[in-house]
């Protein structure tokens, strides 16, 4: 498992340097693990140690043995080996209580003094787990001791996957053994319990995160792996084959979960083939239910430990690949895994008695520490993501605010632009409206006043016409919402005055309750054109008809499409106009003719249907207003005419 095997193809020095540093780091970690494993655990004084014991053989004979002693296992069937030894006790030592201390044993032991049992670890499930390095300290009741030699008997009961083992036996004053016992109990009993509790907490946290963020299955994998670790911690040694199978399947399942976790953590995607990692564990579970205990043991031995080894190796390869891709967090994780693998390797060496020192297993607690490290890592990552999300949200809020400000500024600018455009359009319109009427009339006044003999009456009439037009333009600027009646009302006042000045009479008739319908798209220029048109009609009647009455009738009729259309009829009782004066464009030179041309032009501009009837009894002009006034401006249309 070296990292430099294929690195020659990569020209990057940086990558090679990184690989070298990584390898050195892993070696350092392995050395550190070995060193930690070598740290001697405290023991009571050597004077209390009993090394030489008698062991009862299969046929009941007693053989001398030197501790530590190893015994073979017979699987689930327990085998019992009995050891005995003697120690001296004198009544003057009665002031201090005595105890028996066994630092390490597998699987369970029963301790008796002079034939009376003082401790049996079978009763305490947590002390019979062979992978825990649990010590036992059994106080000796003073009444059991007798002056002189006393006999201590140890019955070692062996079952399960591991061979039996009995470390040294210490008998002496309780106080001398208490320190060694307390240190070991803290390390191998209390600490694992704390770690297990911690694992439960982490598994819960990760599980909650996963349940709320299902797409982030990485949390789910680690939560389940952690949970399996907790179950294994609290489960006692199995009594039935099914429970044994379930417990045995947990290791491979946990390793498979770990592999998935690592794949996700290093940025890979989970593929369908990755599910095969769960196969060994599932097969073991199936075997537990379907096969006999003997076959289960074979299946377990074939699939259990090897698959764990393979999966852990796969995890390590995944991590190494990530390291190769220069992912910094992979270096951190790979280093942790190197530590765990080292510990497990040391355990294997211990198991096969290939390593000096006490028979202490450090794989399991180191794995617990790894789970903690991974959990912390993951939660750290989660919190970072939350922080990022917060930062992102804050940035977003700021961006939105900025965008809003910009939009507001744009809007204000646009509004300002629209306002100035509207102002310009208004100015253009006003100019056009004034030019058409008021301007011309004022010029006419100037011309009239400069004549050799200016006619006051002519000037007055022109000035009145100019004032009338000014009022019309002002009136037309007001919004009337398509209600032409409002504009006609003001017009009525103006022509009423005009007619009265010429001793003529206005008959104003509005038919129907409202006269004209509402015109949806009536614009002020329509109003001005219409009113000027009608002004010309009335002026013609005043100047040329010779009549005394002008009748204006306003009504609503149906147009050809059946829609309501307004009609305005203006009729005088004069003598009518000669036919040649009402003829086609270009022929009329008199005031009447020009007036009629103007009337036609304005009617055409607004799509007004104009009917002129003239005869000796008077002239009748009928204006049928369109249901919809043309939307084009007068300018664009006037070009066509």
Partner 1 sequence: MALADSQVIQPISVLIVEDDAPTRQRIVGALSNTADFNVNQAASFTEAYSFLAQTCPDVLLTDIQLPDGSGMDLIRRMRQKSDKTEIMVISILGDETSVISAILLGANGYILKDAFPADIADTVRDLLKGHSPISASIARFIVRRTQSRESGAPRSDLNTAKLTAREIDILWGIAKGFSYADIADHLGISRQTVPGYIKNIYRKLEVNTRGEAVYEALQQGLIRL
Closer CB to partner 1, 464 or 549, in the complex: 464
Cα-Cα-Cα-Cα torsion 61, 62, 65, 68, nearest 10 degrees, comes to 90
Instruction: Give me the sign of the Cα torsion angle 498, 504, 505, 508.
Output: negative
Closer CB to partner 1, 475 or 536, in the complex: 475
Closer CB to partner 1, 447 or 467, in the complex: 467
Q: Shortest approach of partner 1 to residue 501 CB, angstroms?
A: 5
Q: Shortest approach of partner 1 to residue 429 CB, angstroms?
A: 19
Closer CB to partner 1, 437 or 588, in the complex: 437
- Report the SS3 class of residue 357: coil
- Report the SS3 class of residue 244: helix
d(CA 525, CA 431): 12
Which residues neighbour 216 within 8 Å (Cβ) at sequence distance 6 or greater?
Answer: 209, 210
Closer CB to partner 1, 305 or 439, in the complex: 439
| Residue among 48, 162, 170, 155 nearest 100 (CA) | 170
Q: Where are the beta strands (DSSP E) in 325-429?
A: none
Query: Residue holding tokens 């305005």?
Result: 568
Q: Shortest approach of partner 1 to residue 389 CB, angstroms?
A: 45
Closer CB to partner 1, 36 or 434, in the complex: 434
Closer CB to partner 1, 284 or 466, in the complex: 466
- Prior bond of 46 cis (ω within 30°): no
Closer CB to partner 1, 7 or 490, in the complex: 490
d(CA 198, CA 209): 17
Residue 277 main-chain phi, psi, to 5 deg: -60, -25
Q: Shortest approach of partner 1 to residue 209 CB, angstroms?
A: 55
Q: Shortest approach of partner 1 to residue 568 CB, angstroms?
A: 11
Q: Shortest approach of partner 1 to residue 475 CB, angstroms?
A: 6
Closer CB to partner 1, 216 or 483, in the complex: 483
- Report the SS3 class of residue 12: coil
Q: What is the token pair recorded at 166?
A: 């009995």
| Residue among 83, 79, 114, 120 nearest 98 (CA) | 114
Closer CB to partner 1, 404 or 478, in the complex: 478
* Cβ-contact 247, 235 below 8 angstroms: yes
Q: Shortest approach of partner 1 to residue 564 CB, angstroms?
A: 17
Closer CB to partner 1, 38 or 497, in the complex: 497
Count CB neighbours of 368 within 10 A: 22
Q: Shortest approach of partner 1 to residue 467 CB, angstroms?
A: 5
Q: Shortest approach of partner 1 to residue 492 CB, angstroms?
A: 5
Task: Report which DSSP code applies to 84.
Answer: E
| Residue among 445, 443, 437, 448 nearest 531 (CA) | 437
d(CA 147, CA 92): 9
| Residue among 47, 59, 56 nearest 87 (CA) | 47
Binding site for partner 1 (CB under 8 A): 463-464, 467, 470-471, 474-475, 478, 483, 485-486, 488-493, 497, 500-501, 508, 510, 514-515, 554
Closer CB to partner 1, 204 or 514, in the complex: 514
Q: Shortest approach of partner 1 to residue 451 CB, angstroms?
A: 20
d(CA 454, CA 326): 105
Q: Shortest approach of partner 1 to residue 559 CB, angstroms?
A: 22
* Cβ-contact 195, 369 below 8 angstroms: yes
Query: Residue holding tokens 């004198």?
Result: 90
Q: Shortest approach of partner 1 to residue 567 CB, angstroms?
A: 15
* Cβ-contact 545, 572 below 8 angstroms: yes
- Report the SS3 class of residue 613: strand
């Amino acid at each position: 498992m070296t990292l430099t095997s294929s690195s020659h193809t990569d020209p990057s020095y940086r990558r090679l340097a990184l690989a070298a540093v990584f390898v050195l780091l892993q070696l350092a970690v392995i050395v550190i693990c070995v060193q930690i494993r070598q740290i001697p655990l405290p023991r009571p004084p050597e004077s209390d140690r009993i090394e030489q014991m008698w062991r009862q053989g299969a046929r009941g004979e007693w053989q001398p043995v030197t501790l530590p002693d190893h015994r073979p296992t017979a699987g689930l069937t327990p085998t019992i080996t009995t050891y005995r030894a003697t120690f001296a006790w004198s009544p003057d030592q009665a002031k201090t209580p005595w105890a028996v201390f066994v630092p390490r044993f597998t699987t369970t032991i029963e301790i008796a003094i002079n034939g009376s049992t003082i401790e049996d670890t079978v009763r305490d499930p947590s002390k019979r787990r062979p992978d825990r390095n649990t010590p036992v300290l059994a106080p000796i009741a003073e009444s059991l001791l007798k002056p002189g030699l006393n006999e201590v008997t140890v019955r070692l009961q062996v079952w399960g996957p591991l061979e039996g083992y009995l470390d040294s036996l210490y008998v002496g004053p309780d106080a001398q053994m208490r320190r060694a016992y307390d240190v070991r109990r803290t390390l191998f009993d209390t600490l694992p319990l704390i770690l297990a509790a911690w694992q439960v907490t982490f598994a819960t946290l990760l599980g909650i995160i996963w349940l709320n963020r299902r797409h982030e299955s990485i949390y789910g994998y680690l939560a389940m792996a952690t949970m399996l670790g907790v179950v294994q911690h609290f489960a006692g040694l199995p009594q039935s084959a099914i429970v044994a199978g379930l417990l045995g399947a947990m290791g491979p399942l946990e390793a498979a979960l770990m592999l998935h976790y690592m794949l996700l953590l290093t940025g890979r995607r989970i593929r369908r083939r990755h599910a095969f990692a769960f196969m060994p564990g599932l097969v073991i579970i199936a075997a537990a239910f379907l096969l006999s205990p003997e076959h289960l043991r074979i299946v377990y031995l074939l699939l259990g430990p090897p698959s764990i080894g393979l999966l852990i190796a796969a995890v390590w390869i995944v991590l190494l690949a990530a390291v190769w891709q220069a992912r910094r967090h992979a270096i951190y994780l790979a280093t942790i895994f190197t530590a765990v693998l080292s510990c497990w390797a040391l355990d294997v060496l211990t198991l096969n008695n290939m390593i000096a020192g006490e028979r202490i297993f450090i794989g399991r607690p180191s794995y617990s520490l790894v789970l903690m490290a991974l959990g912390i890592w993951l939660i750290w990552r989660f919190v970072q993501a939350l922080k990022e999300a917060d930062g992102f949200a804050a940035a977003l809020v700021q961006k939105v605010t900025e965008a809003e400000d910009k939009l507001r500024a744009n809007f204000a600018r646009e509004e300002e632009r629209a306002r100035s455009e509207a102002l310009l359009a208004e100015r253009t319109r006003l100019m056009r409206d004034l030019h058409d009427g008021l301007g011309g009339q004022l010029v006419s006044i100037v011309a009239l006043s400069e004549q050799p003999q200016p006619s006051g009456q002519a000037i007055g009439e022109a000035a009145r016409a100019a004032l009338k037009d000014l009022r019309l333009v002002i009136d037309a600027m007001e919004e009337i919402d398509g209600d032409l009646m409002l504009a006609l009302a003001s017009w009525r006042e103006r022509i009423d005055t005009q007619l009265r000045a010429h001793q003529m009479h206005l008959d104003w008739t509005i038919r129907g309750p409202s006269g004209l319908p509402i015109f949806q798209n009536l614009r002020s220029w329509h109003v001005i054109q219409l009113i000027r048109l009608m002004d010309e009609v009335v002026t013609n009647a005043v100047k040329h008809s010779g009549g005394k009455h002008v009748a204006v009738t306003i009504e609503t009729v149906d147009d050809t499409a059946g829609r309501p259309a307004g009609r305005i009829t203006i009729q005088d009782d004069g003598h009518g106009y000669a036919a040649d004066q009402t003829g086609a464009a270009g022929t009329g030179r008199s005031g009447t003719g020009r007036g009629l041309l103007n009337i036609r032009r304005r009617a055409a501009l607004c799509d007004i249907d104009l009917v002129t009837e003239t005869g000796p009894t008077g002239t009748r002009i009928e204006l049928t207003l369109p249901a919809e006034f043309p939307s084009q401006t007068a300018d664009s249309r006037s070009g066509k005419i």
